[in-house]
Amino acid sequence: MTHRAPYQPIRTGFAGLWDRAERRWSIRHLRDRFFSALGLRGGKILDIGCGGGSELFARFGEVTGLDISWESVRSAREIYPRGVQANLTRIPFEDNYFDAILGQDVFGHIPVEDKESVINELLRVLKPGGKLALLVEGIGKGPLWRIAQSRKDLWQKYFIEQDGHYGLEPPGEIVSRFQRSDLRIVRLWYAYSLFWRVEDYLARFKNEYRKGAPLLRVWIHICKTVHRWRPVERLFDLGLGLTAQLLETAFLYDHCGAVLLAAEKVEPSSDSVDQ
């Protein structure tokens, strides 16, 4: 699921009230709420897998975009002061360079055998006490995820190959992987068990999945109808977000399809420095 919509300023009057309601509750602004709550103010920031860049991230400090795609780097330079084309296993910066590292929808693209080396490389360029904050795509066990994985051919086509998600893992394994590193997790959210954005339902299930699944077919028809009118879709996303915040905490974490994780790099102890 790729979300790179520009971060629009809050308006006044009724429009402002609506904006604030969306930012507080809408499923569409879930990740904006997470990253905004980190309290980043100034400093050198690295956006990994930056795509076209994030206007929200640009508000946090001096951002460098890093992506393997030159086209993405070139687009990110319209928002960020610097963009670098590089692989995450070889980040072209010195040790302890960045105050924070941010990323969205990146780790699901990294093969499982490369994840540890990527985390080590991120830790190398992150300052002691610096923050690493990521939205990591995963594989949930909720009803939608069970439907998705019930057809291996369609799972491969629409969930793996469509976006290049060759490194998806269950939420528990995602968290354990970061806990095994020199990081102290300070914020942890789980998301996308039952409640997704309208356009994400359509991208994943408006296809052969609907055959032999009457309830899913009805739901996708509703989403298609809602998607035709932008104001209605925004209201629908707001309702999904409200429901998610009220009910998703009742699901076990492994039902969710994404982990939003913030951690701090542990500063080396004086004993380890002396050694």
- Interval 132-190: pLDDT, tens: 999 999 998 888 899 999 999 999 999 999 989 999 999 999 999 999 988 999 999 88
Q: Please give the Cα distance from 101 to 166 (Å, whole number).
A: 22
Per-residue confidence (pLDDT) for residue 247, from 0 to 100: 72
Answer for the pair 42, 61: CB distance below 8 angstroms, yes or no. Answer: yes
pLDDT in tens, 83-96: 999 999 999 999 99
> What is the pLDDT of the chain when averaged over all its residues?
88
Per CATH, the number for 14-195+248-266 is 3.40.50.150
- 3-state percent breakdown (helix, strand, coil) of the chain, nearest 5: 50, 20, 35
The string of pLDDT tens digits covering residues 188-222 is: 988 888 788 899 999 999 999 999 889 999 999 99
Vertex 123, ends 136 and 113: CA angle to 5°?
55
- CA gap 80, 61 in Å, rounded: 10
Question: How far is residue 99's CA from residue 3's CA, in Å, rounded to a whole number?
Answer: 24
Does residue 274 or residue 133 have the better pLDDT?
Answer: 133
CA distances for 138 relative to 58, 78, 210, 248, angstroms: 26, 30, 23, 16
Nearest-10 crossing angle of helices 198-205, 143-150: 20
What the block records as the tokens of 43 is 């400093």
